[in-house]
Structure 1
Amino acid sequence: MAASLQGHQVHPNGRTWKTHFPKGDLWVFGYGSLIWKPPPHYGKIMISTLESGLNPKNKPESNLNFPGNPKTAITTRNKPADNSRGVFNQASTDHRGTPEQPGRVVTVIEREFWKTLDDPLAKTESESASTKVWGAAYHIPASHAEEVHDYLDEREVDGYSAHFTPFYPVSASGSESGPETITDLSVSAQSSTCMVYIGQPSNPQFLREYARREPQDVAQVISAGHGASGKNTEYLFLLEKALEGIGLGSADVHVTDLVRRVKGIEARSLAEREEEEAEREVERNLAGEPEGERRGSIE
C-alpha cells in the first residue's frame, strides 16, 4: 500500500505518543527505507543507534515487549543497541512484494529472542559494534507530528507497529582515502526518546522458519521480489548506499553480505540469459540456412 499524505486524520485520543513527547514534537528513528526516504516535514536529522536492554527505572519510556520474554523492553540507558538486531525477517506483501510472492524487508528484534531462533547469521556474528541497529533519527516539529504519525502508520502498515525507545546520536570521522567505516564512529553517552516502527515476532509477516531465514534463501527472494514501491533488490541496494551515505560504511554486515549474494545471483542470471540467447542464435542460424551454405562470422 503506497503511503500518502492525502486523507490526513488526527487521532488526539487514540495515541500515546505524547506521553513520550510532552512538548508535542516527535523524534522518528528509521533503520530501513526511512534512511533514504525520510518522513515529510523533518527539520533535523541525526545519525543514531538504538538502545536495548532492561532497566526497571526507565520502564515507562517504552512499550516494546517481545514474545517469549514478556519482561524485556527496550528501555536501558546503560548500553547502546548491542541487545537488539536488525534482520530481513519481515515479509513484504505490499511495497517490495505481493501476497502471492512476498519480498523481504528489515525489522528489529530483541537479541535474546533472536538467539532462540537459531538464526543462520549467528554463525558469523560477534558481539561487536557491527551488530548495533544503525539508522537516522528525524525531528518532527509539533505542528506536523500527528500528520507524520498518520503518514507512517499507512506507510508501515504491513506488519509494523509504533514503539518508543531511547536512541543515541552518533558522530563519524574518517580519512579522505575511502568511505568511513564502523571504527570511525563515536556513540554519544546521552540518549533521547524516539518512535520506531517494528515488525514484532508476533506479527503475521514475521518469518520464523529457519530455511526462510537462511541468507541465500533471503537473497533469492530479494532477487525476484517486486511490489508497489519497486524491486526488492532496489530496497536492498538503496539501504546499502544510504548507510554508506550517512557515514556508516559497512556498519551492517548483514546488509553487505546480502548485497554480495544478490549480486552473485544477478551475475549468474545474466550469464544464463546470455547463454540461452547464444543457443537460440545458433538454432536460428542452423534452421535458416541449408547445410553447406551457412555464412557469417567464423568466430
Structure 2
Amino acid sequence: MTTPPFVVFGYGSLIFKPPPHVISQEPGFLRGYVRRFAQKSHDHRGTPENPGRVVTLVHKEDWDRFSASDAFPHEDVVWGVAYTIDPAYVTEVRDYLDYREKDGYTLETLDIYTIDDGVEKVVIHDAYCYVGRPDNPSFIGSEPLDALAAHIWRSVGPSGNNKDYLYQLVESVRALAPASYDSHLFALEVGPSGSASSLCTDSA
C-alpha cells in the first residue's frame, strides 16, 4: 500500500519561510476558517515577559463566538501554500515543524481548495496544518485592530521584529494568486493610528 504524500499547509510564516525538503508547492485556500493575529508569540516574535502576536487559524463558527465585534465578520477564506515534502525526509521535517510550532500549535488535517476556470474545488484532501486552537495557553482571542497593530509594532523577539512578520506575511499573501486577499492582514498593514509604517521602509 502506497503511503500518501506528506503535505503541510502554510498560512503564516511558513509562506515566506518554507519548511526544508519541499519537492513541490502550490497556492490554495481554506474554506470555513479565519486567519487572525490571535496567538501570543513567546519564542519567535516576542518574549515570555512581552509576547508578540502571530496568526493562527480559527474555525469560523468558533471565531464568531469569540469576536462579535470582528471587523470582517463575513470572510471565511484563508490563502496559503501547500508544500509536499520529500518522502525520504518526512520524519525529519515533522520533527522540525513540531519544534518550530511548539508554542501552542496542534497538528490537524483539512482540505485545500483552488479556483479552476472560475470554479472552486478541493485539490488536496487531508493536508496537515498547525493550528493554535482556542483552548491552547497562547491563544489570546480578539483585540481591537488599532491596539493589536500597536502591540505588533512594538514587539520584538528572537526571530526579529513582530511588524516584519506582519509585513512579510502581507506581501506573501498578495503574491500568492490573483484572487488571494486577507482583509484582516491588510488592515493591520498600515500600523497603529498615527504611525508612519510602510512596507517599503520597514519590511525585512
TM over 0.5: yes
- Whose helix fraction is larger, Structure 1's or Structure 2's? 1
- Whose strand fraction is larger, Structure 1's or Structure 2's? 2
Q: Deviations over 1:48-71 (max 9, x none)?
A: 112xxxxxxxxxxxxxxxxxxxxx
Matched, 1:199 2:132: yes
Residue 183 of structure 2: aligned partner: 253
Does structure 1 conserve the Cα–Cα contact (< 8 Å) formed by 2:153 and 2:191? no
SS of the residue corresponding to residue 260 of structure 1 reads coil
Residue 36 of structure 2: aligned partner: 87
* 5+ long unaligned stretches in structure 2: 198-204
Q: Deviations over 1:10-30 (max 9, x none)?
A: xxxxxxxxxxx9615300000
Residue 188 of structure 1: aligned partner: 121
Matched, 1:25 2:5: yes
Matched, 1:237 2:167: yes
Q: Deviations over 1:183-237 (max 9, x none)?
A: xx763344422100010011101014x5xx1111110110001111100000000
Does structure 2 conserve the Cα–Cα contact (< 8 Å) formed by 1:223 and 1:266? no
Bigger CA radius of gyration? 1
Aligned positions of 1:53-64 closer than 5 A: none
- The correspondence for 2:69, drawn from 116, 120, 123, is 120
Does structure 2 conserve the Cα–Cα contact (< 8 Å) formed by 1:243 and 1:249? no
Matched, 1:37 2:9: no
- The correspondence for 2:195, drawn from 249, 266, 274, is 266
SS of the residue corresponding to residue 261 of structure 1 reads coil
CA root-mean-square deviation: 2.2
Q: Deviations over 1:159-184 (max 9, x none)?
A: 11111111123469xxxxxxxxxxxx
Please state how far the C-alpha of 1:267 moved relative to its aligned partner: 1.8
Code of the residue aligned with 1:161 in structure 2: it is T
- Paired-residue identity, %: 36
Does structure 1 conserve the Cα–Cα contact (< 8 Å) formed by 2:39 and 2:53? yes
After TM superposition, the score normalised by the length of structure 1 is 0.61
Does structure 1 conserve the Cα–Cα contact (< 8 Å) formed by 2:72 and 2:183? no
* 5+ long unaligned stretches in structure 1: 1-20, 51-80, 173-184, 269-299
Matched, 1:49 2:34: no
Q: How many residues align?
A: 197
